[in-house]
Chain A
Amino acid sequence: MTATPIAPTSADHELYPSRGFLHDTWVIARRGLLHMRRQPEQLSDATIQPVMFVLLFAYVFGGAIDVPGGGEYRQFLMGGIFAQTVVFTAFGVALSLASDRKNRAIDRFRSLPIARGALLGGHALTSLLKALLPITLMSLCGLLIGWRIESSLPEAIAGYVLLTSFAFAMIWVGILLGSVIATPEGVTGIAFSLLFPITFMASTFVPTSTMPGPLRVAAEWNPVTTLADALRILFGNPNTPIAVGDPWSIAHPILYTALWIVAIVGICAPVGVRAYEKSLAK
């Protein structure tokens, strides 16, 4: 910017040029990573909780659940756990946006000469890095209980890319949630009343074929189902065999999930950014 001041001030000769969007984003992201380190209990939705689900379903409920088409339940389970865990990425972002607003950090940042969008960019970057933690942790935890990737390396990589992309999409959902909902408490409430049911009304823990009519239809079109199924296919794990009468989503889980990712980012990113800016302009 080459704006000329009306009245030059004493400190003008000491002004530093802007260091750009990426620099500012990284500074904000580093702060988010420090928060993560200083508040490990806030990570429970990404660490303890999925580990608990793995153990609970692998050892407590697993014996009672049959995988149609055969195969071991533990092999089936991991795709679902991965899917459920990345959905919760949205919760983490929403929570940090709401906390920033609650403790007024936001006012401080907004009075600084930060590149436009860097504040959200920083939060998004932290969340993406933060999403890698449970993905790694779940992989290790799975290995311990006997989960194995039985597919080729490119397929396995494709599985992790799909998973990370879904996490990326959920970040924008979280930005939207965190902008619309004012308080950290409200965010937690929504997470448990909205995100949790969505991850359970899916093939996360049980095959959709076991569900009653309308619930089954909802589960079949739920992207969490298709993400879990896609991961099972890409990791070479047992999955309900695709039958002739299955809906399109179940027949093409990878493509269907990818379309959801594109749609979520395409809609939630612009709407979320606008909602965020609106939530600031009071």
Chain B
Amino acid sequence: MLPSTHGAATSPTTPSEAGFGVFARGLVKRFGAMTALAGVDLEVPTGTVTAILGPNGAGKTTAVRILTTLSEADEGRAVVAGFDVRSHAREVRRRIGFTAQDATVDPLLTGRENLVMLGELHQLPRAEARARADALLADFSLDDAADRLASTYSGGMRRRLDLAATLVGQPAVLFLDEPTTGLDPRARSELWAVLDTLVTRGTTVLLTTQYLDEAERLANDIVVIDHGRVIARGDTRGLKRALGGDQVHVALVDGADLEVAARVVRGVTGRDVSIDAGARTVVAPTLDGLPALLRVAAGLSEAGVAVEDLGLRQPSLDEVFLTLTGKPADGDSAEAQAQEAS
């Protein structure tokens, strides 16, 4: 066990923890014989966004639950918003917002009642709680539905209400567990925009996701975990380079052109290409992005290949894991792929 400071006014401190909204060392969590976290270190500099990327069952939710005081680590320690989660849970709770993976808004309360209640539980005076609820309902385009029961909301609306509820207490550190899973593309980009605003206001954000593009869009830093272990981490650009960058993706009209197309792509990227005869696609990683794409386009048109689709895309989580571990994301990965496909 680690030393704790029961009754002391300050959390145990080391100089290295200053400047971090989240600072965790050696987090271990076991459920019976199953080790959900096997010694995870995390740090999120104040005012920045870090994404935890991992497939189903990787331990994302477990980590977030420990950092939000909902669950206790078996080993290791964590400081959130300047306070130890174990010894100063209440001080941590005053400063954080948490959106769980499944919506936790109260279905029997209206949107407005939900927000006012949570504001009051954040110790806001009643009038203040009401004012903040109004503002948040407007921010999340929920004002029309404000006085309807949350049980009548669509999935996306409930998710927005959930996020609004997280912001009622004006948290310094925000935890979002798969915030966009189940949202349609529009709701997704709306939510991203809200997060952008929060970050410019100085909020520290730790989010989890199964999507590399989401992590790249939102985060300064990415931590990739699998089976409760960190298998890669870094700033978004660096990590992406390590993962082989973007992918040039070519879909052909005629499968007979696959060989020619593969030669063109290989020539431009200088990397191994993967060919899918059934889908008539050729894919290869590139670090050059748009210039590489333009050269592929020129090459293909010179060779007279009829192209159905051509573009740059992000590697999927599965491809990321292939690069990092040499094997696809396993565990519950069938489920992860199913979700990605949908």
Chain A residues proximal to chain B, CB less than 8 Å: 1-12, 14-19, 23-24, 27-28, 30-31, 34-35, 38-39, 103-105, 107-114, 281-282
Contact = CB atoms under 8 A, between A and B. Distances in A.
Contacts of B170: 11, 14
B71 A10 contact: no
Given A2-B9, A27-B120, A34-B113, 15 more contacts: A1-B90, A5-B82, A6-B11, A6-B13, A6-B79, A7-B46, A9-B173, A9-B204, A11-B172, A16-B122, A27-B117, A111-B98, A113-B121, A113-B122, A281-B71
Q: Of B17, B69, B95, B204, which is in contact with the most chain A CB atoms at under 10 Å from its CB? A: B95
Given A2-B9, A35-B108, A113-B94, A8 B71 contact: no
Contacts of A108: 98, 100, 104-105, 118, 165
A10 B46 CA distance: 9
B285 interface: no
Contact of A5 (B81, B118, B123): B81
Contacts of A11: 95, 170-172, 203
A113 B90 contact: yes
Contacts of A6: 10-11, 13, 17-18, 79, 82-83
Contacts of B81: 5, 7, 9
Given A39-B108, A112-B121, A9 B11 contact: no
Contact of A112 (B13, B19, B79, B118): B118
Query: In the complex, which range does the number of interface residues on chain B fall in?
Result: 35 or more
Contacts of A39: 108
Interface in B58-90: 65, 68-72, 79, 81-83, 88, 90
A103 B158 CA distance: 13
A10 B172 contact: yes
A35 B106 CA distance: 10
Contacts of B244: none
A19 B19 CA distance: 30
Nearest to A30: B117
Contacts of A28: 121
Contact of B123 (A12, A103, A110, A113): A113
A211 to B, nearest CB: 43
7 contacts: A6-B17, A7-B79, A10-B172, A39-B108, A103-B104, A108-B105, A109-B121
Given A34-B109, A104-B104, A281-B72, A9 B118 contact: no
B145 interface: no
Main secondary structure on B side of the interface with A = loop
B124 A38 contact: no
Given A34-B108, A39-B108, A113-B123, A5 B91 contact: yes
Contacts of A18: 123
B289 interface: no
B19 A7 contact: yes
B95 A12 contact: yes
Interface of B: 9-11, 13, 17-21, 46-47, 65, 68-72, 79, 81-83, 88, 90-91, 93-98, 100, 102, 104-109, 113, 117-118, 120-125, 149, 165, 169-173, 201-204
A15 B9 contact: no
A23 B109 CA distance: 19
A121 to B, nearest CB: 13
Contacts of B201: 10
Contact of A105 (B10, B47, B72, B104): B104
B181 to A, nearest CB: 15
Q: Of B98, B121, B172, which is in contact with the most chain A CB atoms at under 10 Å from its CB? A: B121
B108 A24 contact: no
Nearest to A9: B172
B214 to A, nearest CB: 23
A110 B69 contact: yes
Nearest to A38: B108
Sort A-B residue pairs by CB-CB distance and give the 4 closest, nearest first: A5-B82, A9-B172, A10-B202, A108-B104
A104 B51 CA distance: 23
Contacts of B106: 31, 105
A107 B46 contact: no
A58 B53 CA distance: 66
A9 B149 contact: no
Contacts of A105: 104, 106
B5 to A, nearest CB: 10
A12 B96 CA distance: 11
A10 B47 contact: yes
A9 B10 contact: no
Contact of A24 (B68, B71, B97, B121): B121
B149 A38 contact: yes
A5 B83 contact: yes
Given A24-B121, A34-B113, A10 B203 contact: yes
Given A9-B173, A107-B100, A3 B123 contact: no
